[in-house]
Amino acid sequence: MSQHHVIATYLIETPYPLELAAEVMAGEQSTGTFISVPGETPELKEQHAAKVISIEELESSNTASLPGVHLAQGMDHPVYRRALVKLSFPLHNFGPSLTNLLSTVAGNLYELREFSGLRLVDLELPTAFSERYPGPKFGIDGTRKLANVYDRPIIGTIVKPSIGLPIAEYGPLVRQLAEAGLDFIKDDELCANPPAAPFEQRVATVMNEIERVADRTGKKLMYAFNITGEIDEMKRNHDLVLKSGGTCVMVSLNSVGFAGVTHLRQYTELPIHGHRNQWGAMTRSPLLGMSFTAYQKLWRTAGVDHLHTNGVNSKFTESNESVIKSIQDCLTPMFGDYKVMPVLSSAQWAGSAIPTYEAIQSRDVIHLAGGGILAHPGGIAAGVRSMHLGWEAAVQGIPLTEFAQTHPEISEAIRIFGKK
Amino acid sequence: MSQHHVIATYLIETPYPLELAAEVMAGEQSTGTFISVPGETPELKEQHAAKVISIEELESSNTASLPGVHLAQGMDHPVYRRALVKLSFPLHNFGPSLTNLLSTVAGNLYELREFSGLRLVDLELPTAFSERYPGPKFGIDGTRKLANVYDRPIIGTIVKPSIGLPIAEYGPLVRQLAEAGLDFIKDDELCANPPAAPFEQRVATVMNEIERVADRTGKKLMYAFNITGEIDEMKRNHDLVLKSGGTCVMVSLNSVGFAGVTHLRQYTELPIHGHRNQWGAMTRSPLLGMSFTAYQKLWRTAGVDHLHTNGVNSKFTESNESVIKSIQDCLTPMFGDYKVMPVLSSAQWAGSAIPTYEAIQSRDVIHLAGGGILAHPGGIAAGVRSMHLGWEAAVQGIPLTEFAQTHPEISEAIRIFGKK
């Protein structure tokens, strides 16, 4: 792999010849303009032009996936060809800068009228990026150490209701969850610093309960406090969590943006739990936006330690195939040790472990269940236990129904959640 | 308008009854979860639930706009109904926080499987947002004052080639452009701090030429330096531009994100020129993402002084109707004086003024032309003059061909650019 270029792979759809379309992309995002200007010398083009490395033609269609494509004269019966196009961008055009990389590989080109579809599907970044950006500070190993959980997934839940829980009810709820043996709790992404539960009071109340349970049981739960906000506010919130003995902070990545998150990474003493809300808008149109493969590389470089991926059979639109691919993406090595822990959530229960482990063959995940733990008929502790057992069955390759015969927490879970 | 709620309008498409679908959106983004949990009391719901204000049914379709929609049992021949849905979110759920507002109105709901299309089309923000965020520091009036241009558009161009111009060539180019009478130049969004033209050297070279021309002519050109980068880097770059006598900084908004831009707004002494590259990915699928109407309100609140809108008949996919609507959005009052100057660009020339002014009836724009000025057969000064004349013709309601008879800069412009 070149250390002097970024390789970006796109899925495109165009009524123009593929070679021409690929050259338009390369030109727009490097040396091109609509009328040639005097300074565009051959030397300059040689040094700075993006180059088309490969074009792999895929299927074609008689209809355009997206509106706005411009048909040239004579294109009366256009065929919209799809292809994977690899472009090579000279690193010295932008340097190892995530923000300026983004303007180059995912900027104006989405608006080019030669395309009825354009999606960034992968990125290969040279090591100059890892020299500038130190990546996840804690990653999988650091998170396990802080949570004191090894050889199995970190089992967690989300504070519900999503928003509006009065501060007085946080204490009893967190105590109950911690006593039930949960490893991890996260704030909902809707709840950062609302009047009903101001951030400062929430941290004080929650950490007090977590420490009290830890004093009794020796197990200190990891709580991801939602510090999403302005630059100075995130710093204050981070410092408060750290000072209060907390072990994780959560950020809504797309709301804050790259500059905000890399700034947090510079000073953080805690793992960054990356929530990807708004991700659907970037990926749900199959020929637009960005794939998760590219997305997670950008955020790992920015220094995120945990990253949401959805879970199998969730309440969202994402297919199980896509969820599994996302988890695998997170677990694929990058820059040696830029390890991010995938966070599985949405309609998860004990049984979700089976197809997940079968596909990923790893236990390096944070597995969040809301109802699947809290609404377990045996109570919350039984719900937590059912999650552990689900993973045990998965790892041992024992069918869940068989495991249920000797484990009531599983048979109960199947009865309540098994039809979902 | 309520001062205690944010009103968000969505364009949706769903095979479910519209009332049900709207309730799912409201629930997901406020008090909902997939299994009811103990804390969800009626009082809590009353205080924190988002409410459906109105549903306006539109056309329907037999095919789904986006994949991933979940069909319930019995939906063998689904009809996908479209509608405009207005939701009201209690402000106290998130407070006047742009980042947390975003997680609420444009977060996980894009992934809800009840929808085959979901797009945020408008937002009404209570004044609490203007109390926390001071908005554009310069806006239209401040920009005009700094550029010393009144009663007509600010005419500008973009440094081309987009990337790779050696630092030694910046001086002569900027001198030539400044001497030709341009009001404004911007860096390309691809060019922030590349080795061929490092930021510090570029500022020194460019400002030296601008000041020298100003000394001779009394006219000081406004140059938008691309400071896109990390939090500390943007601060350093801003300070350098200010110290060097520069009058504008440019940021790739989507690359940096909201937290980064509001941070810049806190200390800026210069207008913020907001480039929207990557915008296409957020808007090009008609039933996904966000409309420009909502987008520009968010960025105006964040404090952006100039915002790109494309120009009519551009090289991009956007229709003229959409471009005009975007310019009008920018010129629509918000929070009293949150005025942002729309920036028109892409394949612009003198003739672009006619349809633009006809539609917007305003000269409060920054009008950028690349080839339309630089490739004018009479030279750059004639290119600049042709832009002024185009706007004069537009404002006076004189057909361009008639104006051309007495103005050779226009007739030449028509000859070269008129067929595009």
Q: Which tens digits make up the pLDDT trace of A106-115?
A: 999 999 999 9
Q: What is the pTM of this model?
A: 0.97
CB contact under 8 A, B161 and A29: no
CATH number for the A139-417 domain, one of 3.40.50.300, 3.30.70.1450, 3.20.20.110, 3.90.650.10? 3.20.20.110
Scored b (16 or more CB within 10 A) or e, B110-146 reads bbbebbbbbbbbbbebbebbbeebebbbbbbebbbeb
DSSP-based three-state secondary structure for A414: helix
Closest CA in chain A for residue B133: A230
- Give the amino acid at B158: I
- Contacts of residue A121, Cβ cutoff 8 Å, sequence gap at least 6: A9, A10, A11, A84, A290, A291, A293, A294
CA of B364, closest CA in chain A: separation in Å? 24
| pLDDT value at residue A43 | 83
The ipTM of this complex is: 0.96
CB contact under 8 A, B161 and A374: no
How far is Cα A160 from Cα A191, in angstroms, rounded to an integer?
10
Q: What is the mean pLDDT of chain A?
A: 95
Q: How far is CA B266 from CA B196, B261, B358, in A?
A: 31, 9, 37
- Contacts of residue B324, Cβ cutoff 8 Å, sequence gap at least 6: B312, B356, B359, B360
Q: Phi-psi category of A204—alpha, beta or left, where left has phi over 0 and alpha has psi -120 to 50? A: alpha
| pLDDT value at residue B252 | 98
Kind of pairing between the strands at A80-90 and A51-61: antiparallel
How far is Cα B143 from Cα B249, in angstroms, rounded to an integer?
12
How far is Cα B65 from Cα B75, in angstroms, rounded to an integer?
17
How far is Cα A305 from Cα A307, in angstroms, rounded to an integer?
7
Closest CA in chain B for residue A48: B164
Along the 420 residues of chain B, how does pLDDT read in single tens digits?
689 999 999 999 999 999 999 999 998 888 765 455 666 788 888 899 999 999 999 999 999 999 999 999 999 999 999 999 999 999 999 999 999 999 999 999 999 999 999 999 999 999 999 999 999 999 999 999 999 999 999 999 999 888 888 999 999 999 999 999 999 999 999 999 998 899 999 999 999 999 999 999 999 999 999 999 999 999 999 999 999 999 999 999 999 999 999 999 999 999 999 999 999 999 999 999 999 999 999 999 999 999 999 999 998 999 999 999 999 999 999 999 999 999 999 999 999 999 999 999 999 999 999 999 999 999 999 999 999 999 999 999 999 999 999 999 999 999 999 975
**Nearest Cα to B392, choosing from B402, B382, B403?**
B403
The pLDDT-based confidence of A34 (bands split at 50, 70, 90) is: very low
| pLDDT value at residue B34 | 46
Q: What is the mean pLDDT of residues A178-191?
A: 97
Q: What is the pLDDT of residues A169-184, one digit of tens each?
A: 999 999 999 999 999 9
DSSP-based three-state secondary structure for A68: coil
Q: What is the CATH number of domain A5-132?
A: 3.30.70.150
What does the block give as tokens for B41? 């009391």
Of A40, A255, A310, Cβ closest to residue B99:
A255
| pLDDT value at residue A37 | 61
DSSP-based three-state secondary structure for B224: strand
CB contact under 8 A, A260 and B258: yes
| pLDDT value at residue B32 | 67
Q: How far is CA B230 from CA A57, A302, B99, B181, in A?
A: 38, 11, 18, 34
pLDDT at A33 over 70: no
Ranges assigned E (strand) in B279-337? 288-290, 306-308
Of A104, A192, A260, Cβ closest to residue B259:
A260
> Looking at beta carbons, which residues of chain A come within 8 Å of B100?
190, 192-193, 228-229, 252, 255
- Give the amino acid at A37: V
Helix B292-302 crosses helix B320-331 at what angle (to 10 degrees)?
A: 30
**Nearest Cα to B125, choosing from B325, B263, B258, B297?**
B297
How far is Cα A31 from Cα A40, in angstroms, rounded to an integer?
8
How far is Cα B124 from Cα B397, in angstroms, rounded to an integer?
36
| pLDDT value at residue A207 | 98
CB contact under 8 A, B231 and A288: no
How far is Cα A391 from Cα A152, in angstroms, rounded to an integer?
8
Of B193, B319, B346, Cβ closest to residue A95:
B193
**Nearest Cα to B383, choosing from B356, B343, B410?**
B410
Give the best residue of B285, B290, B346 to mutate against chain A (max A CB count within 10 A). Answer: B285
Vertex A190 angle, CA A185 and A192, to 5°: 75
> Looking at beta carbons, which residues of chain B come within 8 Å of A39?
160-161, 165, 169, 173
Residues of chain B with CATH 3.30.70.150: 5-132
How far is Cα B180 from Cα B174, in angstroms, rounded to an integer?
10
Residues of chain A with CATH 3.20.20.110: 139-417
> Looking at beta carbons, which residues of chain B come within 8 Å of A69?
317
| pLDDT value at residue B271 | 98
CB contact under 8 A, A190 and B370: no
- Contacts of residue A225, Cβ cutoff 8 Å, sequence gap at least 6: A187, A199, A202, A203, A206, A237, A241, A246, A248, A249, A250
- Contacts of residue A107, Cβ cutoff 8 Å, sequence gap at least 6: A29, B189, B190, B252, B255, B277, B278
Of A33, A160, A282, Cβ closest to residue B161:
A33
CB contact under 8 A, A103 and B277: yes
CB contact under 8 A, A260 and B70: no
Give the best residue of B14, B71, B237, B256 to mutate against chain A (max A CB count within 10 A). Answer: B256
| pLDDT value at residue B33 | 55
CA of B145, closest CA in chain A: separation in Å? 30
Q: What is the pLDDT of residues A49-80, one digit of tens each?
A: 999 999 999 999 999 999 999 999 999 999 99
Q: What is the pLDDT of residues A238-295, one digit of tens each?
A: 999 999 999 999 999 999 999 999 999 999 999 999 999 999 999 999 999 999 999 9
